[in-house]
Structure 1
Amino acid sequence: MIGRLQGIIAAKHAPEVLLDVNGVGYEVHLPMTCFYDLPEIGKPVTLWTHFVVREDAQLLFGFNNADERALFRLLIKAQGVGPKMALGIMSGMSANQFIHSVRQGDVSTLVKIPGVGKKTAERLLVEMKDRLKDFTGADFDTGLPGAAPSNMGMALSPADSAREEALSALLALGYKDNQATKVIKQVALDDMSAEDIIRAALKAMM
């Protein structure tokens, strides 16, 4: 089990980061609420990780602290919730916002997450309400920190590159192509980084 990684950020392509740990590159998937808080490429970072082994893939999911990882692990224990859906949930809202939604029985917010229908949301609220009863996350962040600009997509203009990267990230999180494209057109400005566009798009869809 890989529980924590400490290394240098070699590349960022939301929602994935390439972490160089003593010359070995680990591809780590992060919720966007964690991705926003990453330092710039070339800077050190420590990520708490959860390792998933499937027949067709081995995946690493990363988090800024142990409490966020603990919430992810509770989510994937819920019926019908896999790592991708859990990543989408934690990307669409902060951990504190999710806990608040569960405690308030807020189905309408959860159904806006890709792949979460009304029945899944209702079941998730029932299961998570009991599991989160005594759960306190001292390290949870209540906001969405600012993002470092990305340098991906050099063949395109900076504005187009940011839009393409934002679209790729939203698709990876489970949003439909037409839905993601439409909301990016609505929120994207030429001076916004990819992470800024993703944050604005997720906010608009939630």
Structure 2
Amino acid sequence: MIHRLRGQLAEKDMEGVVVDVGGVGYRASTSASTLRALPAVGEDCVLHTRMVVREDAMLLFGFAGREERAAFDTLTAVSKIGPKLALAILSSLSPQEIVEAVGRGDVVKLASVPGLGKKTAERLVLELKGKNLGSFDPGIGGGAGGPFIEAREALAALGYSIEEAERALQAVPPQDSVQRYVKEALRRIGSRR
């Protein structure tokens, strides 16, 4: 099994990369975040890989770091999530954002990934919630559950973007009610303007 490649980055496109290792070019599909993290074509690089063997193909997937590869492994263990969908998820969300969304049961955030419908997002939360998510789990902030999501939706209803609402709410210590989350988040948003 190919676990890691070290060589010269020979090609880079929207689908993935080719790494030249001793004159042999290895093609690997990658996430958008890995593409951004890799150096320019012609430079040396290290690519952490996962090989997927199917009846009709042997596919190689590459990652800029071990954390993203661990997230890929965890995602592909969920039923109805194959390697391509796992890459789409990792192109939209960082491993930490995945852990936080699963921990909060945030189906809306997960379903915002192109190709990941609401039912599959619900399955992902159901299968991963409460499990140790391996080496890519940076730890979920205490208490970020239902009130957090409801507060984010309340801020969105007030006209703030989901990203702006999340940034403000993540700066708020865990609260026991939606109202307290919203009040603290609005105070932080107001102080930034």
Instruction: Normalising by structure 1, report the TM-score.
Output: 0.63
Partner of 2:28: 28
CA contact (8 A) 2:30 2:61 kept: yes
Partner of 2:191: none
Deviations 1:48-93 (A, max 9, x none): 1000112222111011122211111011010111001100000011
Superposed displacement of residue 21, structure 1: 0.4
State the alpha-carbon separation in 2 of the partners of residues 62 and 10 from structure 1.
14
Partner of 2:134: 135
- Where in structure 2 are the equivalents of 1:99-178 lying within 5 Å? 99-131=99-131, 133=132, 135-137=134-136
CA contact (8 A) 1:7 1:22 kept: yes
Q: Which runs of 4+ in 1 moved over 6 A?
A: none
Larger Rg: 2
- Root mean square deviation of aligned Cα: 1.7
Superposed displacement of residue 136, structure 1: 4.5
State the alpha-carbon separation in 2 of the partners of residues 23 and 12 from structure 1.
17
DSSP-derived class of the 1:36 partner: helix
> Do structure 1's residue 58 and structure 2's residue 51 form an aligned pair?
no
Partner of 2:37: 37
Superposed displacement of residue 135, structure 1: 3.4
- Name the amino acid aligned to 1:137: F
State the alpha-carbon separation in 2 of the partners of residues 17 and 63 from structure 1.
10
Superposed displacement of residue 120, structure 1: 1.0
Superposed displacement of residue 5, structure 1: 0.5
- Name the amino acid aligned to 1:6: R
DSSP-derived class of the 1:61 partner: strand
DSSP-derived class of the 1:89 partner: helix
State the alpha-carbon separation in 1 of the partners of residues 133 and 78 from structure 2.
17
Partner of 1:3: 3
Assess, with a 3 A threshold, how the Cα gap between structure 1 residues 53 and 134 changes in structure 2: closer, same or farther: closer
Unaligned runs of 5+ in 2: 139-193
State the alpha-carbon separation in 2 of the partners of residues 18 and 134 from structure 1.
30
Unaligned runs of 5+ in 1: 140-206
Superposed displacement of residue 15, structure 1: 2.9
CA contact (8 A) 1:15 1:35 kept: no
Deviations 1:133-183 (A, max 9, x none): 3635389xxxxxxxxxxxxxxxxxxxxxxxxxxxxxxxxxxxxxxxxxxxx
Assess, with a 3 A threshold, how the Cα gap between structure 1 residues 80 and 138 changes in structure 2: closer, same or farther: closer
- Name the amino acid aligned to 2:127: E
Superposed displacement of residue 119, structure 1: 1.4
User: How many equivalent residue pairs?
Assistant: 138
State the alpha-carbon separation in 2 of the partners of residues 62 and 12 from structure 1.
12
DSSP-derived class of the 1:125 partner: helix
Residue identity over aligned pairs, in percent, reads: 43
Superposed displacement of residue 96, structure 1: 1.1
